[in-house]
Amino acid sequence: MKVELAYGQTNRTLVIPDRHLQSIVYAAKSPQSDQDTDLIQQALSRPKNSPTLTELVRQKAARNAVIVVNDITRPTPYQEILPPMLRELTAAGLSEEQITLLIATGIHRSQTEEEHNWVFGEEICSKYPIINHNCDQDLASVGVLSTGRELYINKYAAQTDLLITTGLVGLHYFAGYSGGRKSILPGIASRSLIEANHKMMHDPRACLGNYKDNPVSDLMLEAAQVAGVDFILNVVTGSHHEIVYASAGHIYDAWIDAVKFAEEISVVPISKQADIVVVSCGGYPKDLNMYQAQKALDSAALAVKKGGAIILLAECSEGLGEDTFAEWMLAATCVEDVEKRFFEHFELGGHKAYAICRTLQQADIYLYSSMTDSTVQHMFIKPVHDVQDLLSQLLIQYGPQASILVMPEAPRIAVKSNCGE
Please state, in angstroms and rounded to a whole number, the distance separating the CA atoms of residues 272 and 149: 43
How wide is the angle at C-alpha 262 spanned by C-alphas 260 and 267, nearest 5°?
100
Taking 80 as the threshold, does the pLDDT of residue 239 lie above it?
Answer: no
| pLDDT reported for residue 420 | 41
Report yes or no: 199 and 206 within 8 Å, Cβ to Cβ. Answer: no
pTM (2 decimals)?
A: 0.82
Please name the helix (run of DSSP H) or strand (run of DSSP E) that holds residue 220, with its range, or none: helix 215-227
Please state, in angstroms and rounded to a whole number, the distance separating the CA atoms of residues 293 and 7: 11
Q: What is the pLDDT of residues 170-192, one digit of tens each?
A: 999 899 999 999 999 999 999 99
State the CATH class of domain 36-265: alpha beta
The overall average pLDDT reported for the chain is 94
| pLDDT reported for residue 412 | 86
Taking 60 as the threshold, does the pLDDT of residue 33 lie above it?
Answer: no
Greater confidence (131 vs 74) lies with: 131
Helix, strand, coil tally for the chain in percent (to 5) = 40, 25, 35
Question: For strand 171-172 and strand 176-177, is the pairing parallel, antiparallel, or unpaired?
Answer: antiparallel
Taking 60 as the threshold, does the pLDDT of residue 32 lie above it?
Answer: no
pLDDT band at 133 (very low <50, low <70, confident <90, very high): very high
Domain regions of the chain by residue span: 2-28+271-417, 36-265
CA of residue 317 relative to chain centroid, distance: 18
Q: What is the pLDDT of residues 387-420, one digit of tens each?
A: 999 999 999 999 999 999 999 999 889 998 764 4
Rg from Cα positions in the chain:
21
Q: What is the pLDDT of residues 154-173, one digit of tens each?
A: 999 999 999 999 999 999 98
How wide is the angle at C-alpha 67 spanned by C-alphas 61 and 72, nearest 5°?
175
Please state, in angstroms and rounded to a whole number, the distance separating the CA atoms of residues 342 and 409: 28
Identify the three-state secondary structure at position 330.
helix
Q: Where are the beta strands (DSSP E) in 250-324?
A: 267-270, 274-280, 304-313
State the CATH class of domain 2-28+271-417: alpha beta
Reported as half-sphere exposure (CB side, CA atoms, 13 A), residue 349 has a value of 18
Mean of pLDDT values over 283-302 = 93
Q: What is the pLDDT of residues 321-368, one digit of tens each?
A: 989 999 999 999 999 999 999 999 988 889 999 999 999 999 999 999
Phi/psi for 415 (5° steps) reads -85, 155
Q: Do domains 2-28+271-417 and 36-265 have the same CATH topology?
A: no
How far is the CA of 388 from the CAs of 14, 155, 311, 395, in angstroms?
Answer: 6, 51, 11, 11
